[in-house]
Amino acid sequence: MPKRIALNASILRAPRTGIGQYLAELANALAKQDDLQLQFFNGLNWNQQLPDTAMPGYSRLSALIKRWVPAAYPLRRALEQQRFTQGLRKQPAGLYHDPSLCPFEFDGPMVMTLHDLAHVHHPETQPADRIAEIDRHAAKAVQRATRVMVDSEYIAAEAAHYYGFAKDKFVVAPLGCAERFQPREPEDLREPLQQFGLVPGQYLLCVGTLEPRKNLQLALNAHQRLSESLRRQYPLVIVGMAGWLPESYSQQLQQALAAGFARVLGYQPDALLAQIVSGARLLIFPSLYEGFGLPVLEAMSSGVPVVLSRRASLPEVAGGAGSYIDVDDDMGCAQVITQLLEDQQLWQAKRAAGLTRAQQFSWQRCAAVTADVYRQVMVS
């Protein structure tokens, strides 16, 4: 009889970003493990299937609740904990896996995924009430977990040192890349990109929530340092949710938008995002800190060379295929971008290296490592 695994999927109520993509892809890959049966908690109820889309109006509703309801985070958690426990009384599970920093209380073995320590190193990049909630739960959760899944060797070593546990408590399961991220012919991209006024191969791309940790300011500064002809030929396109502090980029973005040097596309559905990524000439990813850096892998899988910072886990993902920059050197970043735009042979070499590098990562591999951890934990 398959072993029943309880998986917290409540994050999928929101539009999918990094952790949501991780959960959805991992769950789909785990479904192929015949000896495991997954049941998903959506914040209110338990289901056998993942939701296909986010809850309509979730982002707006969540913002209103946080604004008008005192102690919104603890109150929501208390309500969800009650529903979580009630459901498991009816259908007990042999193991609970939570992809977040704040797992629910569970009377049994628990596995959690610790994607990064951004809440430790860059608390200023998240709202204070969210950091307070993480501080209340994260350290206790790591202590309580039988195993902690992490996305990279960098985070495994960092977490072991910070929390004071042996490194074997932390299991590295590198992320994979959805099949929709693949090289595409320009003629297949012209129609979907036309709605944004974009031409395949004629724009630079940044992907990520507009928050300080993503360091999009460097990308804007570097783009401004390009020659005017390059800036006009290759506008800077930013895709991602507005985040909680978009005003820090507004003035410079408005100037670039008015001059036609930048486009802000906001959050885009999965299929369209894959087309936008595939149509880019380069991905610019100057993040200050990442637990993995999924957009880097997605760009390489799409045949798009990546200009990225040599920070945290990012070199583990890009390896020798990446073109590395310093996070505070906009002039150096501009020089790297210019070289890749003007040297077709170098661009082709980086493209080929990225495609080869991307083949080392898969959701099947991530799921296999995770499933092995489940089995080990349930028999220990």
**What are the boundaries of each domain within the chain?**
3-176+362-379, 186-358
Q: What is the pLDDT of residues 54-68, one digit of tens each?
A: 566 555 656 655 665
What is the spatial distance between Cα 179 and Cα 319, in angstroms, rounded to a whole number? 21
Q: Which CATH number describes the domain made up of 3-176+362-379?
A: 3.40.50.2000
Region of residue 129 (phi > 0: left; psi between -120 and 50: alpha; otherwise: beta): alpha
Q: Using CA atoms, how far apart are residues 263 and 318, in angstroms rounded to an integer?
A: 26
The share of the chain scoring above pLDDT 70, in percent, equals 91
Pairwise CA distance, residues 84 & 281, whole Å: 46
At 250, is the pLDDT very low, low, confident or very high (cuts 50, 70, 90)?
A: low
Query: Residue 76 has what pLDDT?
Result: 84
Within this chain, domains 3-176+362-379 and 186-358 share the same CATH topology: yes
Taking only the tens place, the pLDDT of each residue in 138-189 is 999 999 999 999 999 999 999 999 999 999 999 999 999 999 999 999 999 9
Task: Give 256-297 pLDDT, tens digit per residue.
Answer: 777 778 898 988 989 999 999 999 999 999 999 999 999 999
Query: Measured at the alpha carbon of residue 312, what is the angle toward residues 342 and 241, in degrees to the nearest 5?
Result: 70
pLDDT of res. 123: 84
Read off the pLDDT of residues 184-216 as tens digits, 9 standing for 90 and up: 999 999 999 999 999 999 999 999 877 778 888
Please state, in angstroms and as integers, the Cα–Cα distance from residue 270 to each residue in 118, 273, 276, following that order: 25, 5, 10
The position carrying tokens 């960098």 is 154
pLDDT of 139 reads: 92
User: How is domain 186-358 classified at the CATH fold level?
Assistant: Rossmann fold (3.40.50)
